[in-house]
Structure 1
Amino acid sequence: MQLDWSALGQVTAVSIGVTVAVVVVFALGVLGLARYEGSQDTGAGASTLGRAQAALCFLACATVVAYGIYLIVPQFH
């Protein structure tokens, strides 16, 4: 049995990279949500920028998860 170590290394590197990217984007979404809620607590007016940041980041995370499910489930192809 032959193992293509370079391909295994590429898959590992891409998996780690995408995982880190999704975690960072999710954290940015939580930060945007915190900014939005913090602006409401202080009465400084609703920060629509924080709300938009949170929505876009969470949408990006959901898109990556949906694409991963699409790749795993053969009935979707």
Structure 2
Amino acid sequence: MNIDWAALGQVFGVSLVATVGLVGVFTLGIVAGSPRTAGTTPSPLARTGAYLCYALCLAAVAYGIYLIAA
């Protein structure tokens, strides 16, 4: 049994970057959608940015499921 270490390293690197990026975008959405002080609501622009981050995360997950199922 031979292991292609270069391919394994490439998969590891892409997985690491994708995971950190996706978690970062989701965290940005949480921060953008949270109120700055108690009792206030985020601005419409911040809320739109949060929804955009969530949509990007949803698209990435849906694409991953598509790749697995195809």
- Normalized against structure 2, the TM-score is what? 0.88
2:54 is matched with which residue? 58
Deviation at 1:22, TM superposition (A): 0.4
**Identical positions, percent:** 48
Alpha-carbon RMSD: 2.0
**Count of residue correspondences:** 70
Provide runs of 4+ in structure 1 moved above 6 Å. none
- Rg larger for: 1
Distance 2:40 2:11 in 1: 46
Equivalent position to 2:40, from 37, 42, 50: 42
After TM superposition, list the pairs within 5 Å mapping 1:1-77 onto structure 2. 1-35=1-35, 38=36, 41-42=39-40, 47-74=43-70
Structure 1 portions without partners, runs of 5+: none
Hey, which of these two has a bigger chunk of helix by percent? 1
Distance 1:42 1:62 in 2: 27
Structure 2 portions without partners, runs of 5+: none
